[in-house]
Structure 1
Amino acid sequence: CEDRDRDRDRDRDRDRDRDHDRPRSQHKTAPSPVVHVRALCDSVIEADLVKGVDRFGLISYVMMLPNKRQALVEFQDLRSAQKCVAYAKRRIVNIAGHPAFFNFSTSQRITRPGGPEDPKHVNNVLFLSIQNPLYPITTDVLYTVCNACGPVLRIVIFKKNGIQALVEFDSVQSAQKAKASLNGADIYSGCCTLKIEYAKPTRLNVFKNDSESWDYTNPDLTARDERRRQGQPALLGDHPSTYGGYQTSPLALAHRMDPRSSSSRPMHLYSAPDFEFVPQGKVIMVYGLNPHKMNCEKIFNLLCLYGNIEKVKFMKSMPDAAMVEMGDEFSVERAITHLNGVEMFGKKLNLCVSKQASIVPSQSYELVDGTDSYKEFTNSRNNRFTNPGQAAKNRIQPPSNVLHFFNAPPCVTEEIFQEVCEDCELKPFRTFKTFTGKSDRSLSGLLEWETKSDAVEALTVLNHYQMKNTNGPYPYTLKLCFSTMSHA
């Protein structure tokens, strides 16, 4: 009997040890401020994770485990972690568009970096992707932001797929510090969000020092004809102004999390650069156009929100591409910054600066809708930046699902607008709101669509639409722009 009891105790101890080695399920693990996140997709970085879980409470720290497609998130208090895990039991939580799984970690606190990270995933060069770039991103801006974390040697910016950059630091330690401090932060409050990963190259090749590339170890690369600090006015002033819906502030690294929530990621404030480089060229290449939906007028309707348009020319060899000559280089920068990557009519726009200095008129041909493939707009009354006073009235906004309309007939109704949308084969808007203006000669208000793409398509078609004037011979020219409001 004693032998049987001894064998039974030994088997029970063995089973207990085996259970201890198994991964604990959610209901067996004691609650902890640290949440274990699993089944992340390969492309997820800290900013994606923060965006997905910061609604549950303030976050103290995030540790990515890229080899395992996992991560640890430390909330500032236990209650926030409990809210996260409880919510994930009932509903799907998507991280970067993919469902992830959440349970309590066996750790009560994440060990901060101090020991070595996985050598396969660290480097002295960081890959930066700037999301929601409402304002120009130059080498000066990135140097100001990154150099506070460690000496920056070289920077290269490229804009083929949005705005991205490679930043080379003097050491792996400086790059690690920059990634921990800046990943998921906003360069300007509420926009220009940094998403950071380690890059593959260990050294960048820079051939000239300008707004898109700079070698800080070789000042001799500076171009002779570069427009230096000659009093050249900055594109957006010395800091983001209030015209775009953002409060006036110096160039600030405003983290999307409350700065008090992360001692390891302090908020940094920087003085704004004294100048911005002027981008080269006044001509934009626009790719990703739907040839069955677009023409010169519609391109004008969209791009005129960011500067004067002089010429538009479709390319016969590439039906989905067009060239747009704008009034100045600043307009080119604004248009690329706000419209690159925008989806409309089932395609994604890709904008970049053309190598051509101007558009040379050539023999026009007929587009799908019967209109000409080339048109001049230099003297168009619908250009909105013809003088400083008129330019100051414009709201430079990124595309959104809410449009601000003005100069509509005073008697226009929601039903009339819906009929216009139906006649133009546009998606119906879901909200209509009018403003009480100082004048009864015209009407203004808001139109809200279900998606941003629907609103962009509506603006492209309806901007400068001629609306019937029941009290006179001349129609009203409806004018549209993207609204600063999130809802109508």
Structure 2
Amino acid sequence: MQAGKRALEAGPPGGDGSEMMAKRHQPDMDAPPSKVLLIRNLPRNINESEIKQALQPWTQPGIDLRMFHNPSTGQAFVEFPDEGASTHALSYIRQGHVAVRGVRFVGCYSTKQQVVTNQERHKDCRVLLVYVTNIAYPVELEVIHTIFSKYGFVEKIVSFQKAPRTYQALVQFSAPNEAMGAMVTLNGRNIYDGCNTLQVQPSKLSELSVRVNNSRSRDYTNPNLPTDEPPDERGGGIMGQSPNRSVPNGSLGSNFTNTPTSDPSSMSHHGHPSQYQGQGGHPGMPMSPFQQQFPNQSDQFGRLSLSAIPNELRFLKQENPNTQGTPVIMIYHLDPSNLNHPDKLFNLFSQFGVVERVKIFRDKPDTAMIQFSDQFYATLAQHHLHNVTVWNKTLQITFSRNFEVRLPPAGAETTEDMQRTKAYSQKEQRCSGGDEQEMQKYLKNVCKPSNWLFIGNLEDHIQEDDIRMHLSPFGHPKTVQFKRPQGPTARHMMAVVEMNSLEESFSIVMNCHNTRLKERSMKISFSKQGMVQ
């Protein structure tokens, strides 16, 4: 418990004690020459690589500067190869010739003779404490996962909201070197241009404990965890607390498991009192903002019943909050040369649900609106296609403020607006959506885009060459394997096809779905499968 309390008393950022070290090392303008410089007046959102790049002219090629950077104080200790290099660099700094992001460095000799780097100081640390400040766009757990996964395998993430404009998360890697690489590279970086700034520092926790996989916590090593708290354990706010414990749900590691519930510090991490203390889900307590957004999340997903939603998809309502409950999504950064007709967008997005209307903007041909029959389908499409890069463009998908896509007025059949806006009937859909069992089977096969395609509704005598020839205007399959119908409801031949690229997969889905091969219309979608055994 003492270890846990010490961790709580360390304040962010710099809660690892580095701030105290920097304060003890006050600038000494009369310090003797040293190969270590104390650099001050650094922007808070700068990272180590930017500092090193600014000072690189005074080092030998191929030699990396040793550095201890403390973003919270705007200071860094930098160790040069020798005193000559540090002296040369300091003279330029004092003349005001060294700056980053328009801010000039201030420097002096340090009384230190060597620098212990962040990596060395925290060589056993694999849990990072992440702050997102200067928030202009919502921060989601999956965004954090996507960013940090580039530096290693992320095992667990726990997130919670410190204040309306500060998001906080704990990120656990599988190895310390991965965690340190992410910290050094990402600290001070912006998720979006000019906003949503990352501040990353080591955590004193050695292991995160995650009990539920939802929008606030996730264990990527255990996908079988429940997707929400039991009714008697639902807490308030972003994290939520159990009524019998004041530890945020799924957040803190072994140091905190025995923390008394009467200790208010147990509601925080690294010294921050929780704004959700006292909202542990007791009878009579007001609903949290999260619960207010989704008051019936355990019973309904839009108009779909919970039983129609596969277990692995039930977390989507929480991770991709569609707060207005709109069935309409906005798609940005389309490639106008390829996604230039409503039918192509229909073929692509109807994989994720019943598409009723599609509109491509006349003045912005890289922007479109899709109206689904249900808000859950919109959430499903946003989850699977947001941030997918195809034809060198990264799709951005958001929930619209509108609840419908308006059709052009009557008599506008010949106008460009009519050509860019289209309504679709039930007969054109991949799935009727009326039968619950059929809907569940359909949703289980929904997946993110890949090089693998599923082709259904084929005639029994179709040959591989028939498929290759039919698809050839849009791509050339690497492999084609047929799948014989199985089960009482399976009637037609199917195939799994591997394409050479994601672009080819997109082209075939958009252009070949619902086209006729022999006497039947092909049904084409992205596939979860590799080669069919």
TM-score, normalised relative to structure 2: 0.47
Q: Which of residues 156, 159, 164 in structure 2 aligns to 1:146?
A: 159
Map residues 10-409 of structure 1 onto 2, 5 A cutoff: 112=122, 125=132, 130=142, 145-146=158-159, 152-153=162-163, 176-177=203-204, 187=218, 189=220, 216=276, 222=289, 226-229=293-296, 231-233=298-300, 241=310, 279-280=323-324, 281-294=326-339, 295-363=341-409, 372-387=419-434, 388-394=436-442, 395-409=445-459
CA distance in 2, matches of 1:132, 1:415: 45
CA distance in 2, matches of 1:414, 1:367: 42
Q: CA RMSD in A?
A: 5.5
Superposed displacement of residue 114, structure 1: 9.7
- Structure 2 vs 1, CA of residues 367 and 187 (structure 1 numbering), >3 Å: closer, same or farther? farther
- Structure 2 vs 1, CA of residues 357 and 405 (structure 1 numbering), >3 Å: closer, same or farther? same
- Structure 2 vs 1, CA of residues 362 and 446 (structure 1 numbering), >3 Å: closer, same or farther? same
CA distance in 1, matches of 2:391, 2:318: 40
Query: Residue in 2 aligned with 1:483?
Result: 527
CA distance in 2, matches of 1:191, 1:430: 34
SS at match of 1:319: coil
- In structure 1, what residue type is equivalent to 2:330? M
- Structure 2 vs 1, CA of residues 355 and 145 (structure 1 numbering), >3 Å: closer, same or farther? same
SS at match of 1:299: helix
CA distance in 2, matches of 1:133, 1:478: 36
- In structure 2, what residue type is equivalent to 1:477? S
- Listed one character per residue, the Cα deviations across residues 78-133 of structure 1 (whole Å, up to 9, x for unaligned) are xxxxxxxxxxxxxxxxxxxxxxxxxxxx99x9654799x9xxx9875577762698
- Contact conserved, 1:146 with 1:152, CA < 8 A, in 2? no
Superposed displacement of residue 286, structure 1: 1.4
CA distance in 2, matches of 1:274, 1:351: 17
- Contact conserved, 1:286 with 1:323, CA < 8 A, in 2? yes
- Contact conserved, 1:313 with 1:324, CA < 8 A, in 2? yes
Superposed displacement of residue 396, structure 1: 1.8
Q: Check if 1:448 corresponds to 2:502.
A: no
- Structure 2 vs 1, CA of residues 485 and 376 (structure 1 numbering), >3 Å: closer, same or farther? same
Query: Residue in 1 aligned with 2:466?
Result: 416
CA distance in 1, matches of 2:143, 2:348: 21
CA distance in 2, matches of 1:365, 1:321: 21
SS at match of 1:313: strand
Query: Residue in 2 aligned with 1:4?
Result: none
- Structure 2 vs 1, CA of residues 166 and 210 (structure 1 numbering), >3 Å: closer, same or farther? farther
CA distance in 2, matches of 1:347, 1:167: 24
Query: Residue in 2 aligned with 1:257?
Result: none
CA distance in 1, matches of 2:471, 2:131: 53
- In structure 1, what residue type is equivalent to 2:328? V
CA distance in 1, matches of 2:122, 2:329: 46
CA distance in 2, matches of 1:435, 1:417: 14
CA distance in 2, matches of 1:179, 1:322: 46
CA distance in 2, matches of 1:463, 1:130: 30
- In structure 1, what residue type is equivalent to 2:203? Q
CA distance in 1, matches of 2:336, 2:376: 28
Query: Residue in 2 aligned with 1:54?
Result: none
Superposed displacement of residue 311, structure 1: 0.7
CA distance in 2, matches of 1:215, 1:111: 32
- Contact conserved, 2:317 with 2:379, CA < 8 A, in 1? no
- Listed one character per residue, the Cα deviations across residues 394-447 of structure 1 (whole Å, up to 9, x for unaligned) are 11211111111110122222211121122xx31211010001224996210200
- Contact conserved, 1:154 with 1:216, CA < 8 A, in 2? no
Residue ranges of structure 1 left out of the alignment (5+ in a row): 1-20, 22-39, 43-63, 69-105, 135-142, 193-208, 252-271, 470-475
Q: Which has the larger share of strand?
A: 1
CA distance in 2, matches of 1:306, 1:354: 17
- In structure 2, what residue type is equivalent to 1:405? I
- Contact conserved, 1:133 with 1:338, CA < 8 A, in 2? no
- Structure 2 vs 1, CA of residues 224 and 379 (structure 1 numbering), >3 Å: closer, same or farther? same
SS at match of 1:145: strand
How many corresponding residue pairs?
316
TM-score, normalised relative to structure 1: 0.51
- Listed one character per residue, the Cα deviations across residues 12-35 of structure 1 (whole Å, up to 9, x for unaligned) are xxxxxxxxx9xxxxxxxxxxxxxx
Query: Residue in 2 aligned with 1:435?
Result: 483
- In structure 2, what residue type is equivalent to 1:146? S
